[in-house]
Amino acid sequence: MKIWIVLKVLSLITGVITLFMFFPLVLAFYDNGSDLNAFLFSILCSAAIGLILWFIGRTSGIKGRRDYKTIGIREGVGVVVFSWIIASGVGALPYYFSGVTSLYTDAFFETMSGFTTTGATILTDIEAAPRGILLWRALTHLMGGMGIIVFSLAVMPFLGIGGMELFKAEVPGVTAEKLTPRLHDTAALLWKIYFLLVFAETLFLIFGGMNLFDAFTHSCSTIATGGFSTKNNSIAYFNSAYIEWIIILFMFAAGINFSLYFLLIAGGRRTNLKVKFKSFIADEELRWYFKIVLLASIAITLSLILTGKFTGVIDTFRHAAFHVVSVITTTGFITHDYNLWPQVTRFIFVILMLCGACGGSTGGGCKVARFLLLGRQINTEAMRMIHPRAVLNTQFNKRPVARSIIDSANSFLMLYFMLLITGTLLVTAFNHPKLDLLTALTGVMTCLSNVGPGLNYLGPVENFAWLPSGVKWIFSLCMLAGRLELFAVLLLFLKGTWRR
């Protein structure tokens, strides 16, 4: 691995984070907030760290733009993983300097949760925080949702060919494909779609009575499937059916593979909209994603009505659908404490946490496509037992799936469960009175899947502030691993990654 290349690109990533800090700085100046000096100090420190990395990288070997094209898969993995770590490291400074938290561990946890769009928080009184801090929380979601690297590739096209390794290591989903011949155009197109969704939701929320600040911050959290809110009671604070339906719609939209949006909007100029839309809804993963949401919403609605938790069918379905979409897309918004709902509903939520949304979306989890491939593979193997001489293959979207993709999906699911077991074992070893098996298991799962709230003592109305510092670092690593699809982080611990 060429360390100097990694350091030089990390300096550029640090520069991007520093530039984004100017937005909450302006808001803090406008509000004359207590966080003004915090952002000034944070910008200075972040800029200094970026310059140090840049000088080390430059003196170590990188002299010009051509050197960026030598980025290989090892450098790509190193840049991606360490960029999220250093982004969280410098992004934690505003929390620490503003006094929102007195522990750097808590500040790092909050920032990692923001960038990985997990939405788990250590803030016990969100509404008491200055608006600049709340805007910074939303911006960490905004940057992390589509990915820091993807954003950098959109604004730094000189990374050139080598940047494809960064793209493959960062973009979530089963596969990462260039939608356009030029990588820079691909990244820019993804961000245009992303910002368009944020802008559209902001307008709809303003029409529903939200002020501009709340509408924008909640839109960032929704489209990034993050879940940070400006209110202690999350979406329940607004007590509006209109706002809940709008957020349901955009959470669901954020859970769809973004390449489908590209095909719908830009794919083939001579193709009419009707044909594009048919191709859009014909996607098997999208169809199963919709079926899972619908069936889970109906099941939870029936459970809530039969147990007397709610009475009105329409309102009950809205509450059920809101939390189903919030959990499966790993957003984490809430309107009720589903920790108090019937046991079967909570088990459904655990399944949804594990499942996640579509590949290529901003959502976390294992992704619907992987479970579809696993199911198809099981069916293929069963049919092979009945017809041993038949030539059978696993299909997805009416196309044969390469064996390498099936192996990758199966390996991911196996690795996910191994990390889930290992993480739960480590967390329960702390022997904390609140870290019972259910709390520890769902805590690790919610971090690996980037959901946010878990169950029991880490439920939707709880927070993560009471956790021991060691557990917070374990959860931070789980959030990073989940956001980067596990393998990117795993490669750092393999000897072969560091050998020539």
The helix or strand, by DSSP H or E, that contains position 396, with its residue range, turns out to be strand 395-396
Mean pLDDT for all residues in the chain:
86
The reported pLDDT for the residue numbered 170 is 54
**220 or 168, which is more confident:** 220
Q: Which of 125, 262, 255 is nearest to 190 (CA)?
A: 262
CB 357 within 8 A of CB 344: no
pLDDT tens column, 281-310 = 888 999 999 999 999 999 999 999 998 888
Decide: helix, strand or coil at residue 399.
strand
The reported pLDDT for the residue numbered 465 is 94
To the nearest 5 percent, what fractions of the chain are helix, strand and coil? 70, 0, 30
Instruction: Determine the Cα–Cα distance for residues 251 and 325; give it in Å rounded to an integer.
Output: 7
- State the alpha helices, DSSP H only, in 129-177: 131-146, 148-155, 163-170
Structure tokens at 247: 């957020």
Q: Which of 340, 397, 351, 364 is nearest to 251 (CA)?
A: 364
- Weakest-pLDDT range from 165-174, 295-304, 311-320: 165-174
The reported pLDDT for the residue numbered 181 is 54
- Arithmetic mean of pLDDT, 384-405: 82
pLDDT tens column, 256-268 = 988 888 777 765 5
Domain boundaries in the chain? 3-235
Task: State yes or no: pLDDT of 172 exceeds 60.
Answer: no
Q: Look-up: residue for tokens 């009505």?
A: 305
Model pTM score = 0.90
The reported pLDDT for the residue numbered 488 is 75
- Arithmetic mean of pLDDT, 48-63: 76
Please tell me which of 197-201, 410-414, 493-497 the model is most confident about, judged by mean pLDDT. 197-201
- State the alpha helices, DSSP H only, in 329-453: 343-355, 368-386, 403-428, 437-448
Q: Look-up: residue for tokens 């750097």?
A: 104
- Weakest-pLDDT range from 35-39, 65-69, 299-303, 476-480: 65-69
Percent share of the chain, pLDDT over 90? 57
pLDDT tens column, 468-483 = 999 999 999 999 999 8
- Burial environment of residue 291 by CB neighbours within 10 A (0 to 12, 13 to 18, 19 or more): exposed
